[in-house]
Homo-oligomer: A and B are copies of this chain.
Amino acid sequence: MTTTEAGAAAPSEDGGTVVTDHDRGIHGYHKQKDEHLKRLRRIEGQIRGLQRMVDEDVYCIDILTQVSASTKALQSFALQLLEEHLRHCVADAALKGGTEIDAKVEEATKAIGRLLRT
Contact = CB atoms under 8 A, between A and B. Distances in A.
Nearest to A107: B61
Given A64-B78, A71-B75, A101-B91, A117 B115 contact: no
Nearest to A85: B60
Number of copies: 4
Contacts of A63: 81
Interface size class of A (residues with CB under 8 A): 35 or more
Contacts of A79: 109, 112-113, 116
12 contacts: A29-B57, A30-B57, A41-B51, A61-B85, A64-B115, A67-B75, A71-B74, A75-B117, A75-B118, A86-B86, A86-B109, A90-B94
Given A82-B112, A92-B94, 20 more contacts: A1-B97, A3-B97, A29-B60, A36-B54, A37-B54, A37-B55, A40-B47, A63-B81, A64-B111, A65-B114, A67-B81, A68-B117, A75-B117, A79-B116, A83-B106, A86-B90, A87-B102, A87-B105, A94-B95, A95-B95
